[in-house]
Amino acid sequence: MPKVPSRSAFAIRFFVASLAVLASALLVGALLIAAMPPAVFPSVRFPPAFAASTVAVLLGSLFLNRALGCVRRERQPEFRRQLVLALAAGALFVAIQMSALNWLVQRQAPQEVPTGETAFVTVMAALHALHFIVALLFLVFVTVQAHAHRYDHEYYWGVLVCSWFWHALTVLWLAVLGVVAIASS
């Protein structure tokens, strides 16, 4: 049986993992902003990055579902691998959302800032992104716990709740995306 890390060791692992995931998301987001400024799509009103971020959040849901199935069947290595893949998908989602939000803000006409649909859509997407960052940190917590062998076929409550939270945010994102599509048309 592997040695269980102390609380302080766990806190350090959680902090480092959280920092790594968020820093990588910010770095990739900054690279996407530099690579695809709003002028790349001059006639498009709907941010093309929203389609890519939707794929990322759906992949994260798929990976979390697989992780849940693996932990229930006591497939620990595959369980941890699926959690890491979900983390990567989540970080990619945050990075792409950063690029899409920049795209929305940069393309907004100054006279539309107080009342335009772009401001409404930007606020909705930003609020979702903030909630998603909380879900991503929750996933980091569960992943660090999983690597400390805290979950098995009898106890996987944290994984289950994290999965529900992620799926709920995925459904909310699809609703936000629908509003964005309607507002952009």
Considering the domain boundaries, does residue 136 fall inside one? yes
Considering the domain boundaries, does residue 79 fall inside one? yes
d(CA 184, CA 135): 28
- Cβ-in-10-Å burial (0-12, 13-18, 19+) of 35 comes to exposed
Mean pLDDT of 165-182: 87
Considering the domain boundaries, does residue 80 fall inside one? yes
Of 60, 22, 52, the C-alpha closest to 162 is 60
Domain that holds residue 151: 7-184
Of 170, 148, 155, 137, the C-alpha closest to 65 is 170
Predicted pLDDT at 8: 87
Considering the domain boundaries, does residue 137 fall inside one? yes
Domain count, the chain: 1
CATH number, domain at 38? Answer: 1.20.120.80
Per residue in 34-78, pLDDT tens? 888 766 655 556 677 888 999 999 999 999 999 999 999 999 999
Per residue in 15-32, pLDDT tens? 999 999 999 999 999 999
Considering the domain boundaries, does residue 2 fall inside one? no
Mean pLDDT of 171-184: 82
- Give this prediction's pTM: 0.86
Considering the domain boundaries, does residue 1 fall inside one? no
